Structure formats: structure tokens, C-alpha cells
Amino acid sequence: MERKNTFNLGYFLVAFLIVIGFQLWFTSRDVARISYSDMINYIEKGQVQSVAIAENTIEGKFKTAVDGKEYFVTYRVPQELAVDFDKYKVDVTGVPDHSLLTQILSWVLPIVIFFAIWAWFFRKFAEKQGMGLGGMMNIGKSKAKIYVERDTGVTFDDVAGADEAKVELKEVVSFLTEREKYGRLGAHIPKGLLLVGPPGTGKTLIAKAVAGEAGVTFFSISGSEFVEMFVGVGAARVRDLFKQAREMAPCIIFIDELDALGRARNSFGMGGNDEKEQTLNQLLVELDGFDPAAGIVILAATNRPEVLDPALTRAGRFDRQVVMDRPDRGGREAILAVHMKKIRLAEDVDAGQVAALTPGFSGADLANLVNEAAIFATRRGGEKVTMEDFTQAVERTVAGSERRGRLLNPDERERVAFHEMGHALAAAALPKTDPVHKISIIPRSIGALGYTMQRPTEDRFLITAGELRDRMVVLLAGRAAEDIVYGEISTGASDDLARVTDIARQYVMSFGMDPDIGQAALEQKRAQYMPEAPGMGGAKDYSDVTAREIDLAIRKLIDEAYERAKQVLNQRRKDLDDGARMLLEKETITPADFPPLVQQPLAQARVLS
């Protein structure tokens, strides 16, 4: 028997014993046990009202309570009764004379107590299993957290780096505060607004800011909280949520992680989950069933809009999408300024420089970066957070923490130094790559034995074919340096090769940049905000002959990039040797320490191409 079943059975056994004990106590609490002679004395004194004579016992009732007892019981002696009941006006019956109320209370009340104990234990079990505070009785109730008016504590001033999204959402605030203005011309706000963007870009934060600016009730719930182990619970919670919203209008309903609830039905050709489908169907019904003029606005957030059911995103439901993308350099600077207000900064800290070091960081990443910098400053005992603390925080976020305890033998350290210097010199020689910021041969927690950090001068939204080829050269320059110096290669370039292959594949299959393959998109489009999972590639829609041509084109691109990398490093062999020796000595260097790492003039770099 499982431990959980034994545990529950023990609860019921204890409750049953409690009921039996209560029954015995209830039936004996006002009954006096007396001898036969005492009964005769009480009868002769006129204190007995009635008796009930059984085969072995006599039960009776006093006219007035004796010692607090209203009833008595005695064992019958095996002889004729030595008293004349009629003489003393005592009623005689053959069964005990207990009132109906007493009988009901003696059995019904213990049963009620038994069920109360059972419900208490079930409620505790339900809370442990995550079924909510109310247990079974409240399982169909909405779990939405309700924030009244400005209890969210967030306004648009707390949201930085999302100016375009704030402009769109200010319309929602205007509608909730000035509904007559929109109704004058017959306009109404969209029923649902879908916040779309990668994780950590501030979708939940900006939804709370809308509620804080509008000063209305804010219902916040996650899509996963609608679905439970019991069929029909999700649909009941949807109904309850919208019922509460109608009672507290004007208000905002925010559903986070909508994809957990609104995934396309039967999207993979398999049988759907009935509970999830019922919940989604109920949500669709509620979206159609309320009037936007009532002042209810529905916001939802997801980072996987491509998996949502089309019925959910059609016009009249979630018919407007607000994109919350990763911030550009100006947006990152604004976000950093918000979070830097919470820490003590040194004079040398420049939010613009930190923003330049963090391309691709989301708002959550930047908040974590500021916290990491403060931790570094605290660890070293500093009074304020300096720019060096931010640089170390960036390195820890990108490359992992330092592992100085990992001791490399001299040959490995030297090979790593030449490898990283090869990356850096190639980046300095090619004009279409980002400038080198720092080089280190200190092992990192993510497995890297060294790294070369490049800092982009500006955010880029379009990349040319030449820039992609130059990036491939820089990635392969580490292995090329090992080949030039040692005449053989090692396993240290495995991550570089994976990134180069990915760039070459997109160059050929997604961007149509290879002249032999032609301008055709041969790779299926990936999810916009999610990387493709290993082994989840779709079936190809091109011939085997084309597949072979693609393989040859990718190999050709990589081989050409490798030969260019060797050409660059052969021409800068002295810088390669000098830089590697400096790295071995200092472990970490910057362009200020080694001038050949400074970006070369454009005219000189073109000769190398």
C-alpha cells in the first residue's frame, strides 16, 4: 500500500473513533448509574417520573435533576420488582424514554462533525496539491490577483525603452478615462490587445503600467492557472473571471503566457486535450459576449504568437498586436538609467557606454546586469559601483563567471592565447566587423577557455553579404591561428564552427545570397521569438539535387572564410606572436594595452579581402 493512501486512511480512522467517542459521551453525559436499592429509594421519595423496563436494565427519568443528572440507569435484579409503580405514580414502559431531539442530536451531530473534520483534512490536502486556498469548494473560482487602482505601483515612467508600445497603450488609458470622447464618433477600443515579444522585454510591466495610469482595477492571471486536473474547471474560472470583471468595470484583465491557454487546437494532428479546448472555447465565447463600451479591456502577453489558435487572434478578439522587442541602444540607455537610480554610482559610470556593451539585452537582462554590477562592487568592498564593475558584470552575463581554479597546462594556455589573439587580429583587420573591446584567457564557467569581446559601435538592423562573410572570417581566425603556429588544429573551435555553419546556412538558404543556389528561401521560417529545437526541423521542400548543391555552397563559403583568415594572420604574424605573449603574461588585455588591436583603416583592410 502506498504511503499516501495509508496516511489518508489513518485520517478517516481517527475521525471515526472521534465520532464513536462523541456518541458514547453524548449518550452518557446526563445519565446517572445507580444501584437497584437507590432506585427504590428515589421512587419512594417521589423523585422518579418514569421508568423503562428492559430484560436486564431499568432506565428512568427523574422529575427534577439529581446531582445534575436528568436520567438514571440500573441493572435489574433477577426477581419480581419489589415496588408498586402505580402507588407512586410512575409511568412504566418497555423501552427507554429518550426524546426525539436527543436521538437526532446523538447521531446527526457526530455525523456533521465527522464531515467537518473530513472537509478540513481535504482542504489541507488541496492546498498542498496547489488546488488553491478554497480547496474543493472554490476550485471553480478565478485565481486572478486583483490590484485596485494604483496598487500596481507602476506607471509609464517606470517603463523605458518601449516608446512605440507606450504610444499605442496610451490609447487604452485614454479610452478608460475618457470613454465619452471615443463614443462621440462611434469608435470603440479593440476588445483585446496582444503584447508580443521575446522574454524579458517588459510585457507584464507595461500591462501593470496601463492599469496604474488609468487608475482602474487590474486583474492579473497566468494562462496556466486556468487549467486544473478536473475537467470543466478551466471554463468555470474563465466565466468567474469575466463575471468579476463586469462587476468591477471599468477594469483591465491581463492574461500572462496566453500560449499556455490559447495554443492552436489539434495543431500537431493528434487528439486535443478536452479540458484545454473547453477552456479556450469558453474564453472565445466570453470575448464575443462582452461590450467594449462597458469599460473592460483585455491585455494578454506571449512570446510565441505563432502557436496561438487563429480563432483567438482574429478581428473582434485579440485583433491588435503590440510588439515589445528588444530595445535598441537608446532604449537600453533609458532602461539602465531607470535601474541605476537604485544604486550608488561612481562618477566614471556612463549609461551610454554600458548600453554599447549590451547589444541584444532585454529589459530583464539589463536589470540583472545592474544588480550584478552592484554585487561585484560589494564583493570588493567598494563604496560605489564603478565602470569596471559593469564591465565585469557584462563579462559574467555573456561568458560566465571566472574559474581561476581550472588550471591549464602551459601548452594549453599558449594555444588558447594564440586562438583568442587570432580572433582579435582578424576583427581589427576587417572593417565590417565590430571593434575589439577585451581579450581574456581566463577560463569561464560556461566552458570557454578564453574569449574575445567585441563592442558594436551602433545597432544594426540590416547586414550585408560582405559583413556576414567577414564575421565568418573572424570566427574561423582562432582555428586558423592554431593551424599557422602549430601546424595542427584542436577541439577548441567547436563553438566557433557551430556559429559559422549557422551563418553560412542562413546565407545560402534564408537570405538567397549565394549566386549558384539563387535567390530562393529554402529554409522553413523559424518561430519568430524562439530558437528552433534540436531535431525539430520540418520536412524539406526541395530536391535531393538541390540539397547537395546547398551542402557544397555552405562548405565553399566556410573554406573561403578559413583561407581568408589564414591570409590575414600570415600578414600579421608578428602581431600574433607579440599579442599571444602579452596575453600569457597579463591574461586579460584591451586595445589600450596592445595597439595592433585598434581597428585598421578601411583602405588597408580592403587589400586583405
Contacts of 509 (CB under 8 A, 6+ apart): 517, 521, 522, 523, 550
- From CA 125, how far away is CA 116, in angstroms rounded? 14
How confident is the model at residue 591, as a pLDDT?
A: 87
What's the mean per-residue pLDDT of the chain? 76
- Mean pLDDT for the stretch of residues 62-76: 76
How confident is the model at residue 475, as a pLDDT?
A: 93
Least confident of 76-80, 470-474, 536-540: 536-540
Q: How many helices and strands in the chain, by DSSP H and E?
A: 20, 14
Alpha helices in 66-162 (DSSP H): 100-128
For residues 125 and 132, is the Cβ–Cβ distance under 8 A?
Answer: no
Residue 192 pairs in a beta bridge with: 298
How confident is the model at residue 500, as a pLDDT?
A: 94
Q: Is 192 annotated as a binding residue?
A: no
Alpha helices in 251-384 (DSSP H): 259-262, 274-289, 310-313, 329-340, 351-356, 363-379
Give 274: exposed, middle or buried? Use CB within 10 Å, 0-12, 13-18, 19+. Answer: exposed
Residue 196 pairs in a beta bridge with: 302, 323
Q: Residue 418: which pLDDT band, with cuts at 50, 70 and 90?
A: very high
- Lookup: cell for 187: 469608435
% the chain with pLDDT above 90: 13
How confident is the model at residue 51, as a pLDDT?
A: 80
Range(s) within the chain of domains with CATH label 3.30.720.210: 3-103
The predicted-structure confidence for 338-363, as pLDDT tens digits, reads as follows 889 888 888 888 888 888 888 888 88
Q: Is 234 annotated as a binding residue?
A: no
Cα torsion through 165, 167, 171, 172, rounded to 10: 30
Strand 69-75 to 145-147 pairing: unpaired
The yes-or-no verdict on residue 131 having pLDDT over 50 is no
The yes-or-no verdict on residue 609 having pLDDT over 70 is no
Q: What is the DSSP letter of 308?
A: B
More confident call, 138 vs 592 = 592
- From CA 364, how far away is CA 368, in angstroms rounded? 6
Q: Is 202 annotated as a binding residue?
A: yes
Strand 69-75 to 31-33 pairing: parallel
Q: Residue 137: which pLDDT band, with cuts at 50, 70 and 90?
A: very low
The yes-or-no verdict on residue 257 having pLDDT over 80 is yes
Range(s) within the chain of domains with CATH label 1.10.8.60: 329-398
- Mean pLDDT for the stretch of residues 132-146: 48
The yes-or-no verdict on residue 258 having pLDDT over 80 is yes
Radius of gyration (C-alpha) of the chain in whole angstroms:
40
CATH class of 145-267+274-323: alpha beta
The predicted-structure confidence for 278-289, as pLDDT tens digits, reads as follows 888 888 888 877
The yes-or-no verdict on residue 133 having pLDDT over 50 is no
The yes-or-no verdict on residue 605 having pLDDT over 50 is no
For residues 63 and 90, is the Cβ–Cβ distance under 8 A?
Answer: no
Q: Which amino acid appears at position 193 of this protein?
A: L
How confident is the model at residue 170, as a pLDDT?
A: 81
Q: Quickly name the fold that domain 410-608 has.
A: Methane Monooxygenase Hydroxylase; Chain G, domain 1 (1.20.58)
- Lookup: cell for 178: 475618457
How confident is the model at residue 607, as a pLDDT?
A: 33
How confident is the model at residue 422, as a pLDDT?
A: 93
How confident is the model at residue 93, as a pLDDT?
A: 62
The predicted-structure confidence for 371-392, as pLDDT tens digits, reads as follows 999 998 998 888 889 988 888 8
Q: Is 201 annotated as a binding residue?
A: yes
Task: Supply the residues annotated as catalytic.
Answer: 420
How confident is the model at residue 574, as a pLDDT?
A: 92
Q: Is 305 annotated as a binding residue?
A: no
**Thinking of the domain 329-398, which architecture would CATH place it in?**
Orthogonal Bundle (1.10)
Q: Is 457 annotated as a binding residue?
A: no
How much is the pTM? 0.64
Alpha helices in 292-328 (DSSP H): 310-313
Range(s) within the chain of domains with CATH label 1.20.58.760: 410-608
Q: Is 292 annotated as a binding residue?
A: no
Strand 296-302 to 251-256 pairing: parallel
Give 315: exposed, middle or buried? Use CB within 10 Å, 0-12, 13-18, 19+. Answer: exposed
How confident is the model at residue 426, as a pLDDT?
A: 92
| 385 SS3 class | strand
Q: Is 327 annotated as a binding residue?
A: no
Q: Is 200 annotated as a binding residue?
A: yes
- Lookup: cell for 201: 522585454
The predicted-structure confidence for 80-120, as pLDDT tens digits, reads as follows 565 666 666 666 665 554 555 555 555 666 677 767 776 77
Q: Quickly name the fold that domain 3-103 has.
A: 3.30.720
Strand 48-53 to 91-93 pairing: parallel
Q: Residue 5: which pLDDT band, with cuts at 50, 70 and 90?
A: very low
